[in-house]
Amino acid sequence: MRLNPAVARGAFRNVWVVAEVLSGHIQPVTHELVGAARALADVRGSEVWAIVLGSGVAGQTGGLIACGCDAVIVVDDPAFAAFNDEAAARTLVQLIDKYRPESVLCGATTCGRALIPRVAVLADCGLTADCTGLAIDPDNGDLLQTRPAFGGNIMATIRCSNHRPQLATVRPRVMKALDADPRRTGRVIREPLTPDPSDALKRVIEVFHSTETAVNLGDASFIISGGRGLKGPEGFNLLRQLASRVGGAVGASRAAVDAGWIPYAHQVGQTGQTVQSKVYMACAISGQIQHLVGMQSCDLIIALDKNPDTPMMQIADIAIVGDLFEILPELIRQIPAT
Amino acid sequence: MRIVVCIKQVPATNDASIDPETKRIVREGVKAILNPFDTYAVEEGVLLRERFGGEVVVLSMGPPKAEAVLREAVSQGADRAILLSHRAFGGSDTWATSYALACAIRKLGGADLVICGKQAVDGDTAQVGPGIAAHLGWPQATHVMQVRSATPETLVAVRMHEDGYDVCELTLPAVITVVKDINSPRVPTLRGRLASQKMEIPVWTPEMIGADTAKIGLDGSPTRVVKTEPPPPRNKASRRITGSPDVCAAELLHELRTRSLV
Amino acid sequence: MKKHIANHIYHVEILPPKQDSEKLDADLQAFAEKYQRVLDSGYCICLTDNAMGHLSFQGTEMIQELGLSVKPDQVMIHLNTFHTKANLDDILQACIGQGIRDLLVVTGDGSDRLPKLEPADIGASGVESVTSVELLRYIGQTYPGAFNLGVAFNPYEPEDHEFAKLDRKIAAGAMFVITQPVIARNAVVDKLLATCPLPVALEAWMSKKLHLLSQAVGYEIPESTVFDPIETLRLLHRTYPQCGMYLSLLGFKTQYHLITDTWVS
């Protein structure tokens, strides 16, 4: 809400993390955000709270406390068995109204990006999407939210000085979770879901989660990615062969996806997935910023390109100058099939 | 069925840099285009109108030149277009933008369905669609990859998630945002393009849509950009491998084995 | 194509205006003038299909909406795999209606705005995506005898790969070949001419923009290179007298009058 003489800045306290719950399980991004929230709360001498909206989730609060939460609010209700934007947003707004957090963090997942903008409007507060950096002004608690803009060509820092709470979404695998400490203690607060007539306006009638359909770039430790230089969909067959030899996954640049050579699910970059694999091998990807922001925190970056001067070849740990159509078959030949 | 499709004009490329003197963002001479995701929103609106009759109204907020993307949407099959344009709208963040668009939809007399693209490629926030739904108090479905079925009163949408999908039934009116998988937008014909150039596009001001001026523009926006800077460089001493394909492959494998990565 | 080569009929590429043109009326007029000039010269007009993935108007609708005439053997349409099935058939039907027989069938360049034919759309099986091979087969089977089907050949791609692809294209119904830009004698082109049973036209690069040519041929041509397109065209005629010539990026103001006597036997 907008701050005014009746609604004082000081009335808002603590950093909240809205848990990402999928099929009844709290997702790793939640722990990453708790890690980020812990650092912010420590600057302010305040607490980290996690908000868990789910069905059958009451038993999972311990892990959150061990990872750095001081308190966990649980709304355990069958209405949250599937992702229900409207009821979740309404409930969050009620909780915000009641407990008045200073900042609220949420994963920039498909659910988070649907839910939090709704909360921002209903609670009349500012929201910054896809933050890659979070800091806090120790004096007034303003969140300094850094996010890539213009396809990552510019980093913008955003403040919401006149509204509380301050909302931010953060991509999975951008922040680091703290090591779990089972000795940590914290409070668990149970809150009910308040039914509303508008609940009848939307029903989730089917849910399909699968590890099969997902191109699990997020969990892959070795990613081989291709760009425009693959020249066509056939080029990706080479990448698939290599991936199967090293137990890796296949990624792609936006150019290759836009060209229709490989489905969107493989796209790495600002408008695709953010990855953090042990090895990222970019084959004929020039390395536009929009791509780099999605993979630059990988441990070892290998670039393969005919052109030695592309941005990707500059940032790579290992840069191979040559024709991928000659080198990849050779590489596949030299790695024994398992 | 009245379908309102909200669209945005965006720069064709994201090439931008910061002037070291003025610290302002430089983006000279960059061509403006219809936000790519919005093309799919327009197509979905046109497909639904072809099934149920009614009209597709395209709505955009922006400077006067943004009418170009409205004309493009008309050449793609929309029936009419409205531009929200006034100095007072300038500097709006996603909160204020979704408020203004919601006001315009009310002024239109409401809608059965509002369709937005998943996100605009310049801001990449994906916040305006859900924001409009919240301002109107309507249900929403984001990242919609398929409209599985629809009637004049309901719509069954398949939402894309990271590891699968879910299906939800919405009672209209509602807001959906769409991803590229949802359809293959038709390419405008020359005939449609020529016709769209002649269309009158009304320009609406804050007053005309009954917007509270405290909730639009910079003043109505909770967020403020306080600093812009180039992304941190990632310059490292890198190892270069050149030579014949078999040598390159062998050296790379050696590097990977040394690190126990294969 | 054989008739074109025998009668010294150049293929002159013209790009239809882009969809996002900010001066469409002027572009339409310029297009109509170029089209008419090539037609009047007796050459063959070659109309691209969303060249380089840039969303552009289709050749067939340009002819239709601008009321341009079509003479047999004087209009060739490029057709790539970035269409919806309905749109593809519309274009093919329009060609038949307008009397256009020559098609250059290519995989083409996509963009995020262009739909891509799916194998199931055109009854292709056992492939992950549609290439010119599947498209050729579809056109041949659906419109038997209606078209002369041409295909592209890139002498700068790995050779074995490219010849194998050409064999697949020929098996799928290709009847003539047009190469990527050739600027001098080229060993791969020599091999093509020695082995390929189909008539071949070489693309002659008529622009002085070397960086674009570098992109087209896939290797870096130093900017300092002295490149005279008209002289190069003469050289190609001398070197490859058995080939047709496909002129890309021809300057209508500066070059057109110079090509009238370049093709002498």
CATH number of A301's domain: 3.40.50.1220
Q: Which residue of B has its CA nearest to A126?
A: B222
A174/A306 same-domain check: no
Give the model confidence (pLDDT) of B33-77 as tens digits. Answer: 899 899 999 999 999 999 999 999 999 999 999 999 999 999 999
Q: Is residue C140 part of a domain?
A: yes
Cβ distance C20 to B31 less than 8 Å, yes or no, reads: yes
**Is the backbone peptide bond immediately before B173 cis, with ω within 30 degrees of 0?**
yes
- Domain with residue C48: its CATH number is 3.20.20.220
Structural domain contains residue A181: yes
Q: Roughly how many angstroms between the first and final C-alpha of chain C, as a whole number?
A: 17
pLDDT-based confidence at residue C178 (cuts at 50, 70, 90): very high
pLDDT at site A24: 86
For residue C53, the chain A residues in CB contact (below 8 A) are: 259
pLDDT at site B18: 67
Residue type, A174: V
Q: What sign results for the dihedral spanned by CA atoms A304, A306, A312, A313?
A: positive
pLDDT, residue A7, reads 87
Q: Answer yes or no: do A226 and A188 share one domain.
A: no
For residue A61, what are the contacts with CB-CB under 8 A and spacing of at least 6? A50, A52, A72, A74, A186, A188
Residue finishing a domain among A166, A201, A236: A201
Q: Which residues of A touch B98 (CB under 8 A)?
A: 117, 121
Q: Which residues of A touch C114 (CB under 8 A)?
A: 260
Give me the domain span that covers residue A80. 9-201
User: Is the ipTM of this structure higher than 0.95?
Assistant: no
Residue holding tokens 């306080």? B226
- Selecting from A83, A118, A314 the residue whose C-beta is nearest the C-beta of B133 gives A118
B23, B113, B168: best to mutate for the A interface, most A CBs within 10 A: B168
DSSP string, chain B: -EEEEEE-EEESS---EE-TTT-PEE-TT--EEE-HHHHHHHHHHHHHHHHH-SEEEEEEES-GGGHHHHHHHHHTT-SEEEEE--GGGTT--HHHHHHHHHHHHHHTT--SEEEEES--TTT----HHHHHHHHHT--EEEEEEEEEEE-SSEEEEEEEETTEEEEEEEESSEEEEE-GGG--PPPPPHHHHHHHHT----EE-TTTTT--GGGSTTTT-S-EEEEEEPPPP-----EEE-SSHHHHHHHHHHHHHHTT--
Q: Determine the residue among B42, B189, B194, B196 to mutate to test chain C binding: the one whose Cβ has the most chain C Cβ atoms within 10 Å.
A: B189
- Whether B80 and chain C come into contact, CB under 8 Å, resolves to no
The residue of chain A nearest to residue C128, with distances taken between CA atoms, is A233
Which residues face A135 on adjacent strands? A144
Q: Domain containing C131: what range?
A: 2-258
Place of tokens 């799916």: C118
Mean of all residue pLDDT scores within chain A? 91
Of the candidates B192, A305, B65, B13, the one whose C-alpha atom is nearest the C-alpha of residue C112 is B13
Contact at CB, B124 and A162, closer than 8 angstroms:
no
Neighbour subunits, C (≥3 Cβ pairs < 8 A): A, B
Is residue A3 included in any domain, yes or no?
no
| DSSP string for residues in B162-216 | TTEEEEEEEESSEEEEE-GGG--PPPPPHHHHHHHHT----EE-TTTTT--GGGS
Q: CATH no. for residue A115?
A: 3.40.50.620
Q: Is the dihedral of CA B204, B210, B214, B215 positive or negative?
A: negative
On the 0-12 / 13-18 / 19+ scale of CB atoms within 10 A, C32 is middle
Contacts of B261 (CB under 8 A, 6+ apart): A222, A278, A279, A300
CB of C137 closer than 8 Å to CB of C172:
yes
In chain A, residues 151-180 whose CB comes closer than 8 Å to chain B: 151-163
Residue of A nearest to C132 (CA): A232
Q: Are residues A40 and A122 in the same domain?
A: yes
Q: In C, which residues are within 8 Å of A325 by CB distance?
A: 158, 161
Q: What pLDDT shows up at residue B23?
A: 62
Cβ-based contacts of C65 with chain B (< 8 Å)? 190-191, 194
Nearest to B190 among C55, C61, C84 (CB): C61
Instruction: Determine the residue of chain A that is closest to B122 in CA distance.
Output: A150
B2-215 carries CATH number 3.30.1490.20: no
B174, C9, C202, C256, C265 from C234: Cα distances, Å: 66, 15, 12, 14, 11
Chain B (65-124) residues lying within 8 Å, Cβ to Cβ, of chain A? 93-95, 98-99, 119, 121-124
Cβ distance C114 to A233 less than 8 Å, yes or no, reads: no
In a shared domain, residues A150 and A182: yes
pLDDT digits (tens, 9 = 90+) for C207-240: 988 888 887 776 778 878 888 999 999 999 999 9
SS3 A168: strand
Same domain, A232 and A303: yes
For C144, half-sphere exposure in the C-beta direction (CA atoms, 13 angstrom radius) is 1
pLDDT of C218: 67
Enumerate residues 224 to 263 of chain A having a beta carbon within 8 A of any beta carbon in chain C. Answer: 231-234, 258-261
Say what the pLDDT of residue A213 is.
Answer: 46
Q: Do A110 and B160 touch (CB under 8 A)?
A: yes
**What residues of chain C lie within 8 A of the CB of A321, using their CB?**
none
What is the mean predicted confidence (pLDDT) over C256-261?
Answer: 91
Co-location of A84 and A196 in the same domain: yes
Inter-chain contact C129–A259, Cβ cutoff 8 Å?
no
DSSP state of A337: P
Is residue A213, in this structure, part of any structural domain at all?
A: no
Please state which of the ranges A50-54, B28-32, C250-254, C257-261 shows the lowest mean pLDDT. Answer: B28-32
Cα of B237 to nearest chain A Cα, Å: 7
**Burial class, C105, CB count within 10 angstroms (exposed 0-12 / middle 13-18 / buried 19+):** buried
Closest-CA residue of B relative to C86 is B186
Q: Which chains are adjacent to chain B, needing at least 3 Cβ pairs under 8 Å?
A: A, C
**Residue A37 to residue A14: CA distance in whole angstroms:** 9
Q: Is residue C264 part of a domain?
A: no
- A248 found inside a domain: yes
pLDDT in tens, chain A (338 residues): 999 888 899 999 999 999 999 888 999 999 999 999 999 999 999 999 999 999 999 899 999 999 999 999 999 999 999 999 999 999 999 999 999 999 999 999 999 999 999 999 999 999 999 898 999 999 999 999 999 877 677 889 999 999 999 999 998 888 989 999 999 999 999 999 999 999 999 999 999 876 544 567 877 889 999 998 898 888 899 999 999 889 889 999 988 887 778 887 899 987 778 788 889 999 999 988 778 878 887 889 999 999 888 889 988 999 999 999 999 999 999 988 76
C-alpha span between A255 and B114 (Å, rounded): 30
Q: Which residue of C has its CA nearest to B193?
A: C19
pLDDT, tens only, A245-282:
898 899 999 888 877 788 878 999 877 787 888 899 99
* CB < 8 Å from A in window 54-83 of C: 82
Is A330 within 8 Å of chain C by CB?
no
Residue A321 pairs in a beta bridge with A305
**CA nearest to C65 within chain B:** B191
Q: Is residue C116 part of a domain?
A: yes
B207 within 8 A of B97, measured Cβ to Cβ: no
Tell me if chain C has a CB within 8 Å of the CB of B184.
yes
Last residue of a domain, one of A152, A168, A201: A201
List Cβ neighbours of A224 (8 Å cut-off, separation of 6 or more).
A239, A242, A243, A246, A248, A249, A250, A251, A281, A283
CA-wise closest residue to A31 among A214, A220, A172: A172
Report the number of distinct structural domains present in chain A: 2
> Does the beta-carbon distance from B95 to A126 stay under 8 Å?
yes
- A217 in any annotated domain: no
In this structure, the number of other CB atoms found within 10 A of the CB of residue C67 comes to: 7
Whole-angstrom Cα distance, residue C36 to residue C246? 18
Using the beta-carbon criterion (under 8 Å), do C110 and A326 form an inter-chain contact?
Answer: no
For residue A317, which of A295, A290, A294 has the smallest C-alpha distance?
Answer: A295
Of A169, A201, A233, at which residue does a domain stop?
A201
Number of domains chain C is built from: 1
B252–A302 CB contact, under 8 Å: yes
Nearest-CA distance from C94 to chain B in Å? 14
The pLDDT value given to residue A53: 97
DSSP for A254-300?
HHHHHTTSS-GGGBBSTTSB----SEEEEES----HHHHHHHTTSSE
Q: Which residues sit opposite A128 in a β-bridge? A: A168
Cβ separation C112–B36 shorter than 8 A: yes
- Report the distance separating Cα A51 and Cα A34, nearest Å: 11
Q: Are residues A167 and A23 in the same domain?
A: yes
* Identity of the amino acid at A49: W
Hey, are the CB atoms on C61 and B185 less than 8 Å from each other? no
Per cent of chain C over pLDDT 90 is 76
* Closest Cβ–Cβ partner in C110, C128, C129 for A258: C110
* pLDDT at B25 (0 to 100): 64
Using the Cβ of B189 and the Cβ atoms of chain C, whether some distance falls under 8 Å is answered with yes
Least CA distance to B76: which residue of chain C? C19
Per-residue pLDDT of chain B (262 residues; tens, 9 = 90+): 999 999 999 987 666 666 666 666 666 677 888 998 999 999 999 999 999 999 999 999 999 999 999 999 999 999 999 999 999 999 999 999 999 999 999 999 999 999 999 998 888 889 999 999 999 999 999 999 999 999 999 999 999 987 789 999 999 999 999 998 899 888 899 999 999 999 999 999 999 999 999 999 999 999 999 998 887 766 666 789 999 999 999 999 999 999 888 8
Q: For residue A118, give the nearest of B129, B83, B8, B104 by alpha carbon.
A: B129
pLDDT of residue B236: 64
Say yes or no: A40 and A159 in one domain: yes
Taking CB atoms and an 8 Å limit, are B187 and C65 in contact across chains? no
Q: Which residue of B has its CA nearest to A248?
A: B262
Is C53 within 8 Å of chain A by CB?
Answer: yes
The 3-state DSSP class for residue A81 equals coil
pLDDT digits (tens, 9 = 90+) for C196-212: 999 999 999 999 888 88
Task: For chain B, say whether C84 makes contact (Cβ under 8 Å).
Answer: yes
Q: Which residues of C touch B68 (CB under 8 A)?
A: 22
Residue of A nearest to C52 (CA): A259
To the nearest whole Å, the CA of A298 is away from the closest chain C CA by 27
Establish if C133 touches chain A: CB-CB under 8 angstroms. Answer: no
